[in-house]
Structure 1
Amino acid sequence: MCHMSACAFLSYISIVILKIVPLQRVKSRSQFLKIVTLSIVFCGSVVGGNVSLRFLPVSFNQAVGATTPFFTALFAYLITFKREAWVTYACLVPVVTGVIIASGGEPSFHLFGFIMCISATAARAFKSVLQGILLSDEGEKMDSMNLLLYMAPIAVVALIPAVFIMEPTVLEVFASVGDQHKFMFIILILNSTMAYAANLSNFLVTKYTSALTLQVLGNAKGAVAVVISILIFQNPVTVIGIGGYTMTVLGVIAYGETKRRFK
């Protein structure tokens, strides 16, 4: 909710006050419903991902997230009927297979955490396809900053009940921010500001490439996160798990090469 509040606030400043880009109006009820759907799905993907981190190590969470391109290709075909070259789909096979192998070799596997993680992954893929439609479709086209301006406040409203249900002590935490907590509070503000930059970049990449490319690029970040999380949290990994992670990363590299050749 802090992330989306920052996105709403900074988007308003950028568009209305600084006038970096012209303010766009919502053109139709259909477009508004798509923006609402995008906001709700986005919230679901983030909440599901955060809940899964209570049960799964970051490394495994990122490995499962690497299957996002598979779901993105599936939703893109079902919603927009957009088809990729068969070689592109073939490259997604090791991405998914690697995660299946890593799941079998994960000593900290938790079924509920895995279900939440895979649900968040599918929601993230659906969000990418929907935002691609809103950013690129001739009938719906919005620029990235305006889409974030409309999406963020809806997401904040949707997250308010989730906050009080899942984190009932959150107001007490904010009220007790003293000298010993000021540093953490500053980090939260900085983190929320970075979320604005991340979401804006996310939309720009989707607009100028594709939803599928965005998710495959995200897997490069995931590979780095796997290594860093293992170093920081010292969570146990097995040879099978490492083999699965490696297969997923190789699939991502192969995907990037096929997209370059068949562009």
Structure 2
Amino acid sequence: MAAAAGNGRFFTIGLVASWYSSNIGVLLLNKYLLSNYGFKYPIFLTMCHMTACSLLSYVAIAWMKMVPMQTVRSRVQFLKIAALSLVFCVSVVFGNISLRFLPVSFNQAIGATTPFFTAVFAYLITMKREAWLTYVTLVPVVTGVVIASGGEPSFHLFGFIMCIAATAARALKSVLQGILLSSEGEKLNSMNLLLYMAPIAVVFLLPATLIMEKNVVGITIALARDDFRIVWYLLFNSALAYFVNLTNFLVTKHTSALTLQVLGNAKGAVAVVVSILIFKNPVSVTGMLGYSLTVCGVILYSEAKKRSK
């Protein structure tokens, strides 16, 4: 019995380590490709991610039977999934664009304000009010980012706007998902939702890539002739983007929602430290204080939400 519990604990630790590694890995590799390597095509990169998610989701569900396949039951449900897919595309593309201009550490600081945008959208769309204490905890979340922005040596206005937009879109998707797929007949687990969202995302991203990133395929082929590593980078990065979703699903399945929140908060801090060590981007004391305040605010927000339930 003790051995089984020990094995279960090791399995959970392994899952969390995989989730952290894939999450931080895809973030750092995106940053390296878009900023350091000079592959300035964030829409095409996102399309590669979504293509990999489409193929690997199908393999995991249809062939490996990791979860039972859930079917789309109506045209209305399909349109709801398409709407979610569009918002999801916007969040990922804008996030990737922001990585061209901002260091990962600052990107993560802004990303930590997701609870603020979630609370705003939940109120605007569903008129759902939280307890007053929950709203109070959002003050340090936003204040921390304002302080971090003022003390960020690599601040870039366009990158900052893109990152804010990506964070807002991510929050909007979670609120819309709760509304659009709330009925029992329409609920999909995250792996099945990705199976249907990813191909729709590719359909949205393909014309956007062709219009906004002209001749990107030709440029990528030319790059591959000079340095074939770009192909391996793109393939590995795309597979890792799927692995982020897979490990997120498995960690959610094997731990509680609260554990996931705590681990998510810590993950941002780990990503900041790792990115500073790898990319050696300058960080000010003011910036780190601001980010720390934001993380503390997010932890307090999680605690306030738990108590209000």
**Do Structure 1 and Structure 2 share a fold, with TM-score over 0.5?**
yes
Partner letter of residue 217 of structure 2?
Answer: L
Give the whole-Å Cα distance in 2 for the aligned partners of 1:205 and 1:134: 24
- 1:222 corresponds to: 268
Give the whole-Å Cα distance in 1 for the aligned partners of 2:249 and 2:135: 23
Query: Cα RMSD (Å) of the superposition?
Result: 2.9
Partner letter of residue 108 of structure 1?
Answer: S
Q: Is the 8 A contact 2:153 2:283 kept in 1?
A: yes
Give the whole-Å Cα distance in 1 for the aligned partners of 2:250 and 2:180: 12
> Deviation of residue 100 (structure 1)?
0.8
More deviation in 37-46 or 76-85? 76-85
- 1:153 corresponds to: 199
Q: Is the 8 A contact 2:122 2:175 kept in 1?
A: yes
Partner letter of residue 31 of structure 1?
Answer: Q
> Deviation of residue 216 (structure 1)?
7.4
Q: Is the 8 A contact 1:63 1:245 kept in 2?
A: yes
Alignment of 1:125-204 (within 5 A): 125-133=171-179, 136-176=182-222, 177-178=224-225, 180-181=227-228, 183-202=229-248
Q: Is the 8 A contact 1:94 1:250 kept in 2?
A: yes
Give the whole-Å Cα distance in 2 for the aligned partners of 1:125 and 1:215: 14
More deviation in 63-72 or 11-20? 11-20
Q: Secondary structure at the match of 2:51?
A: helix
Q: Deviations over 1:40-82 (max 9, x none)?
A: 1111111111212222222211111111111012222333444
Partner letter of residue 141 of structure 2?
Answer: V
Q: Secondary structure at the match of 1:54?
A: helix
Give the whole-Å Cα distance in 2 for the aligned partners of 1:45 and 1:71: 13
- 1:30 corresponds to: 76
Partner letter of residue 19 of structure 1?
Answer: K
Give the whole-Å Cα distance in 2 for the aligned partners of 1:247 and 1:149: 37
Q: Is the 8 A contact 2:102 2:154 kept in 1?
A: yes
Q: Secondary structure at the match of 2:90?
A: helix
> Deviation of residue 137 (structure 1)?
3.7
Q: Secondary structure at the match of 1:108?
A: coil
Q: Secondary structure at the match of 1:224?
A: helix
Q: Secondary structure at the match of 2:142?
A: helix
Partner letter of residue 205 of structure 2?
Answer: L
Any unmatched runs of 5+ in structure 2?
1-46
More deviation in 250-259 or 171-180? 171-180
- 1:42 corresponds to: 88
- 1:124 corresponds to: 170
Q: Deviations over 1:99-131 (max 9, x none)?
A: 011112223222222111111110011112223
Give the whole-Å Cα distance in 1 for the aligned partners of 2:168 and 2:270: 21
Q: Deviations over 1:213-245 (max 9, x none)?
A: 977754432222222222222222222212101
Given the superposition, is the C-alpha separation of residues 116 and 91 from structure 1 closer, same or farther in structure 2, using an over 3 Å criterion?
same
- 1:65 corresponds to: 111
> Deviation of residue 14 (structure 1)?
2.4
Alignment of 1:13 with 2:41, yes or no, is no
Give the whole-Å Cα distance in 1 for the aligned partners of 2:63 and 2:275: 40
Any unmatched runs of 5+ in structure 1?
none
Alignment of 1:243 with 2:289, yes or no, is yes
Give the whole-Å Cα distance in 2 for the aligned partners of 1:166 and 1:203: 33
In the superposition, the TM-score normalised over structure 1's length comes to 0.85
> Deviation of residue 249 (structure 1)?
1.5
> Deviation of residue 97 (structure 1)?
0.9
Q: Is the 8 A contact 2:265 2:299 kept in 1?
A: no
Partner letter of residue 66 of structure 1?
Answer: A
> Deviation of residue 36 (structure 1)?
0.7
Q: Is the 8 A contact 2:191 2:245 kept in 1?
A: no
> Deviation of residue 201 (structure 1)?
4.5
Alignment partner of 1:94 out of 140, 143, 146: 140
Partner letter of residue 187 of structure 2?
Answer: K
The count of aligned residue pairs is 261
Partner letter of residue 108 of structure 2?
Answer: Q
